[in-house]
Amino acid sequence: MDETSPLVEQATTTLVRSMASDDTPVWRVALDGFAALFGRSGHVVAAELERSRDEVVAQPRLADEAAGEWKPKLRRLLAADPEAADRLRALLWELDGARPQQGVSNRIEGGVSGIAIQAGRIQGGVNGYGGDHVDFSGGTFHDRVVGKEEHHHEGARADRPQGSAERP
């Protein structure tokens, strides 16, 4: 995997999400921005993007097909014009700010066998599973976290210095 692969993945996801959105101003920013990346052929790309969007809006199940169409085009663009990566990052940043921020709602129905983690975004990762807990130390949460904190380790309490721990 080359260094542009994550960028292409993110760009493809953002592009197709913008296509499927009923938020016309966000789509306009995406359309103009992605078309501009392709320079002089931007007007042709804009027409192709509009066609893809029309298909995705009419039949949402075609979103994966649209992603399959645009992902290699973006990959080839970045291979041919490495400076386009910076412009693409700026566009993704702009689109992220243009989208209204919404809350996260997760729901699990039925039984869970194993670990279930629900979050809007976790940055840093899950460090391990220790039987009755998941260790998120070093993780960054970008909104409030709702849950229950329990300490099951003998003498270890986060709210007391190590030397003054009492047995709960």
- Would you say residue 147 lies in a domain? yes
Indicate if 57 and 83 belong to the same structural domain.
Answer: yes
Indicate if 43 and 94 belong to the same structural domain.
Answer: yes
Per-residue pLDDT for 72 more than 90?
yes
**Structural domain of residue 148, as residue ranges?**
116-168
Structure tokens at 104: 């996260």
Indicate if 75 and 13 belong to the same structural domain.
Answer: yes
d(CA 14, CA 63): 12
Indicate if 75 and 130 belong to the same structural domain.
Answer: no
Burial of residue 128, with CB atoms counted within 10 A of its CB: 0-12 exposed, 13-18 middle, 19 or more buried: exposed
Indicate if 12 and 82 belong to the same structural domain.
Answer: yes
Mean pLDDT of the chain: 77
Number of domains in the chain: 2
Give the tens place of pLDDT for each residue, 115-167.
666 665 555 555 555 555 555 666 666 666 666 555 555 555 555 555 544 54
pTM: 0.57
Dihedral angle, C-alpha 98, 82, 39, 33, nearest 10 °? -10
- Would you say residue 87 lies in a domain? yes
- Would you say residue 105 lies in a domain? no
- Would you say residue 31 lies in a domain? yes
Indicate if 94 and 136 belong to the same structural domain.
Answer: no
d(CA 23, CA 102): 13
Instruction: Indicate the pLDDT class of residue 168, thresholds 50, 70 and 90.
Output: very low
The long-range contacts involving 133-137, CB below 8 angstroms and separated by at least 24 positions, are none
Indicate if 89 and 136 belong to the same structural domain.
Answer: no
Indicate if 12 and 93 belong to the same structural domain.
Answer: yes
- Would you say residue 111 lies in a domain? no
- Would you say residue 55 lies in a domain? yes
- Would you say residue 76 lies in a domain? yes
Looking at residue 50, what is its pLDDT? 97
Indicate if 146 and 92 belong to the same structural domain.
Answer: no
